[in-house]
Structure 1
Amino acid sequence: MSRTLSRKEFLQVAGAGVAGAALLGAGAGCGGSSYLPSGGSRMNVVVVILDSLRRDHVGAYGNDWIQTPTLDALAKDSLRFTRPYPESIPTIPARRAVYTGKRTWPFRNWVPQKGETFFPAGWQRIPEDQWSVAEILLDNEYDTVLITDTQHQFKPSMNFHRGFNVFDFIRGQERDRYRPKQTAPEELVQKNVVPGNDRSMVEKVRQYVANTHYYRNREEDWFAPQVFLRAIKYLEDAARAGQPFFLVVDSFDPHEPWDPPEKYVGLYGEEGYSGPEPIVPNYSKSDYLEEDELRRMRALYAAEVTMADRWLGNFLDRMDALGFLENTLLFVLSDHGVSLGEHGYTGKVDEALWPELTDIIFYVRHPEGKGSGNTSDFYASIHDIAPTILSQMGIEPWQPMDGQDLTPILEGKGPQREREHFTLGYDDYAWARDERYALVCRNDGSEARLYDLQSDPGMDRDISGSHPEVVRRMWEGYILKDAGGPLPKY
């Protein structure tokens, strides 16, 4: 599409009238400032995580063909960081940084977790000697709530609900062994894989189909709607209870599998497509896909983004109707992106640290309007969330945090400490950037790729061979320095 729809127009296109009316019809004005803790010095906190949402798929970040009216409208009411990055990748290391305010990269003392089929470095529980922001807020009489369908956090080897006195785990996403795989109708499995999908991804689809095929009759049965509807229900309960709360709404969408209702696919898909649906990518080179399959995969992902945006909008509308936007500090972010054939990869491959994987969204909405409508090019990251929350609440952290308090930027000042560069890691690869260059290499510094971001922002042309001095400077001065010495080898 050549024009970005407003949220109102989009809801009409998406057919949200009935569901929207049901969600927004009751209870307006029940919240308000009376739900601040005693003394009125603290506010509620909501953190929304959208897994695998690419920055370049959001209108407020420059996309002109994918419909994200909620995120576009939120940008006008928030401080939006234009160059945010995850502290580390993928799902579990990133969330550990969100919850603790600590750097999880470079994944020292990493122990692979038992029973995992996917365990990149750092894929482990919150260490027992680290405190989560949920534990600190719980001790300060907040209701601490986690609502999510991100099943990795609830595996027996993990402990990510630590500190949450309420947690709602919506079962059935991805590889969650919620129902026997043998119950998946084979024709539905084959409909949702392409001939080039590897065995692991076929089995992911098989488990997912077994988990979901028997109950999906309306849009509210998909996962993003379930997550945000549960979060809406919590808001309604909170409006009656009156206790200040810390709410994490962690939506696994738009992570694969990408199988949104047809009305979303119809916004982007080619008419007459009759092939199998590539709802999961191999985490590999993209040459297993035919051209029409790759186009279809991109359309399915775009459709999933739009569905997640719509249900985020329903949630924010309900926050507004209940008065909670007047007294709630809101963060909306993604944890990483996903490759969709760019640079010859699909999925999340550790060596493919290009913008499609590293670039995230990051919004902070303050109830007093601080930073509203502004942007910042500070290298904000997900481990800045916990110290910012505690600063805004006037609560001292129980241990030093690596992230920065973003309050000065919200107030139109400079950051606590300038970040002239940023580093992150994914398994046994490291990444660094500054104003001019981006560097990708293995943990021992080998296989380095260097890109000039001024002339090549998409990182398409490796210039490491002609600039060895820049590679050495960034490796030694950024990566090794931030890592505190040599990186672990796996």
Structure 2
Amino acid sequence: MIRNIILIICDTLRQDYCGCYGGYAHTPNVDMVAREGVMFTHFLPASFPTGPFRKDILTGRFTFTYHAWRGGWQEKDYLITDAFNKAGFTTALIGDTMTVGSFDSHFQYVDFIRGQGPVALYSVDFKLPLPADENKLRTPRERLQALMEQWVRWRGEEDRFAPRVFKRAHQWLENFGRKAKRFFLMIDSFDPHEPWNPPRYYIDQYDPNYEGDELFEPAYAPSGYASEKEIQHMRAMYAGEVTMVDRWFGFFLEGVKYMGLWDDTAIILTTDHGFYHGEHGLIGKVELDRDGTIIRRWPLYDTIARIPLIIRIPGGPSGERYSVLCQTPDLMATIYDLAGIEIPNTCQGKSLIPVISGKADEIRDITITSHTYVTDKECRCPSSIRTEDWLYIYGGDEWQYELYNLKEDPGQENNILQKNQDIAEELHKRYISWLKEVGCPEVSIDLRSKFNDKPRESLPYAKLI
């Protein structure tokens, strides 16, 4: 029996940087869990980005159709923590992601490590030189300098956030987890999300002797402002952050073993999304103005939407890779299955256990990844509709509509919609049918029902997510 479940979310962890997925970042601990467990290569978020993803995690629903980033729960939302609490599990959430402290997640124990957020640090009492041209960094300037003021007070690697998160999770296991009859622990690390600030010895593994602007928290904008050398170093800083996170993830896993929990605890590692490091001519996740206002939501190509999912089940298969299409609500259904708890009818996901056990080859033939629909009446957001063979970008009002043949063009570099509009229109129909199936509000379905391959010329300036 699986007695305990540990779910680790490492924010903004790109699949193609993890060693086990063929990435070039050094991730020996992530790779170890993959060897002892199973990997999913086509796992995609449903709701994008950070906050909406975690609402999907807690409810097992496609919440982008009716939830905004902020705001409370609705009647249709039954949280997985409620089910686990009722079943006698000890439940705990430990992390530094802003969402840990932003809404009631119904965990019995919550440990929120502060400091990563919209930097409630604006009390800067001295000025530090920025490591790059201010116009190449995410503003406002006061926020950047506040971040740097915090960093100079760190005495070493262990003062950074990922080490603190995994050390606190280790402490919780020591004091509570190993004594519990059964537990569900969720660790929510904001790293490797930017700002990328690992010790220099991590960055030098990937780009030693670099001289130039360091885009440790780059401007969210089309990538033309950064040189290829700067983009390459930005990737090195990110890879260094990934490797630092992996080290402290390994520290935590060693604790699981030493405390005798390894043989009856399932370990699940995933993330909420990736990050554009210049791919598709973009840097960031959405376009921001110099005041930090979202002015354009971008399409969600595989760079940002194909995310890692690794599941280690004691006594389960090891070293397997599955290419089945699956999404965030499916992970929740899987966790219910692992715990031996009946999947509630409010959960819209499908368990991956039949795939892992060899009883099923697929659980869904289409996935939808989207920004939230909260601003539909003013401005419709882009969404990505994916099948095994095709990626259709529904541009909404903000982006052109696009179509990619994933067998011939896995990097999504050649938009073939104009020559294959019939395929795009058919995928659009499937998109609308899917929205009806998941109970999307009629107003959003009606606003999306017509296929129109051109974005609007006039848009409201500010967008919401």
Which amino acid is the alignment partner of residue 115 of structure 2?
Answer: G
Shift of 1:445: 10
Write the mapping of 1:279-428 to structure 2, written as runs, cut at 5 A: 279-349=216-286, 350-368=297-315, 370-414=316-360, 418-427=363-372, 428=381
Name the residue aligned to 2:460.
none
Q: 1:91 aligns with which of 50, 73, 78?
A: 50
Measure, in 2, the Cα distance between the counterparts of 1:263 and 1:445: 41
Which amino acid is the alignment partner of residue 98 of structure 2?
Answer: Q
RMSD over aligned Cα atoms: 2.2
Name the residue aligned to 1:187.
128
Change (3 A) 1:55 1:384: same
Measure, in 1, the Cα distance between the counterparts of 2:176 and 2:340: 22
Q: Deviations over 1:394-436 (max 9, x none)?
A: 2234542101112212212106x63112111024111011121
TM-score (norm 2): 0.86
Is residue 224–residue 253 contact of structure 1 (8 Å, CA) maintained in 2? yes
Name the residue aligned to 2:411.
458
Which secondary structure does the structure 2 equivalent of 1:83 belong to? strand
Write the mapping of 1:7-86 to structure 2, written as runs, cut at 5 A: 43-63=3-23, 65-86=24-45
Is residue 201–residue 282 contact of structure 1 (8 Å, CA) maintained in 2? no
Is residue 435–residue 453 contact of structure 1 (8 Å, CA) maintained in 2? yes
Measure, in 1, the Cα distance between the counterparts of 2:344 and 2:386: 31
Is residue 138–residue 220 contact of structure 2 (8 Å, CA) maintained in 1? no
Which amino acid is the alignment partner of residue 336 of structure 2?
Answer: L
Is residue 275–residue 303 contact of structure 2 (8 Å, CA) maintained in 1? yes
Name the residue aligned to 1:231.
169
Change (3 A) 1:42 1:435: closer
Shift of 1:239: 5.6
Change (3 A) 1:163 1:397: farther
Write the mapping of 1:63-142 to structure 2, written as runs, cut at 5 A: 63=23, 65-106=24-65, 108=66, 110=67, 121-127=68-74, 129-142=76-89
In the alignment, structure 2 segments of 5+ residues that lack a partner are 287-296, 373-380, 437-441, 449-462
In the alignment, structure 1 segments of 5+ residues that lack a partner are 1-40, 111-120
Is residue 284–residue 345 contact of structure 1 (8 Å, CA) maintained in 2? yes
Measure, in 2, the Cα distance between the counterparts of 1:123 and 1:56: 30
Establish whether residue 468 from structure 1 lines up as the match of residue 413 from structure 2.
no
Shift of 1:181: 3.4
Which amino acid is the alignment partner of residue 385 of structure 1?
Answer: L
Q: Deviations over 1:177-219 (max 9, x none)?
A: 1x33323x4225x12x4332366353442342344432x1111
Which amino acid is the alignment partner of residue 435 of structure 1?
Answer: E
Shift of 1:128: 5.0
Measure, in 2, the Cα distance between the counterparts of 1:144 and 1:418: 28
Name the residue aligned to 1:253.
191
Change (3 A) 1:445 1:259: closer
Shift of 1:451: 0.7
TM-score (norm 1): 0.82
Establish whether residue 481 from structure 1 lines up as the match of residue 433 from structure 2.
yes
Is residue 137–residue 217 contact of structure 2 (8 Å, CA) maintained in 1? no
Establish whether residue 213 from structure 1 lines up as the match of residue 172 from structure 2.
no
Is residue 345–residue 352 contact of structure 1 (8 Å, CA) maintained in 2? no
Question: Which one is further off, 80-89 or 196-205?
Answer: 196-205
Which amino acid is the alignment partner of residue 104 of structure 1?
Answer: T
Change (3 A) 1:126 1:303: farther
Shift of 1:235: 1.4
Change (3 A) 1:201 1:342: farther
Is residue 442–residue 448 contact of structure 1 (8 Å, CA) maintained in 2? yes
Which amino acid is the alignment partner of residue 253 of structure 2?
Answer: L
Shift of 1:69: 1.1
Measure, in 2, the Cα distance between the counterparts of 1:246 and 1:69: 25
Shift of 1:60: 1.1
Measure, in 2, the Cα distance between the counterparts of 1:457 and 1:207: 41
Shift of 1:129: 4.1
After TM superposition, what 4+ stretches of structure 1 lie above 6 angstroms from structure 2? none
Is residue 196–residue 289 contact of structure 1 (8 Å, CA) maintained in 2? no
Q: 2:115 aligns with which of 151, 161, 172?
A: 172
Name the residue aligned to 2:290.
none
Is residue 29–residue 246 contact of structure 2 (8 Å, CA) maintained in 1? yes
Which amino acid is the alignment partner of residue 182 of structure 1?
Answer: V
Is residue 329–residue 367 contact of structure 1 (8 Å, CA) maintained in 2? yes
Which secondary structure does the structure 2 equivalent of 1:431 belong to? strand
Measure, in 2, the Cα distance between the counterparts of 1:473 and 1:411: 33
Name the residue aligned to 2:378.
none
Shift of 1:76: 1.0
Q: 1:149 aligns with which of 96, 102, 117?
A: 96
Which amino acid is the alignment partner of residue 16 of structure 2?
Answer: D
Which amino acid is the alignment partner of residue 59 of structure 2?
Answer: T
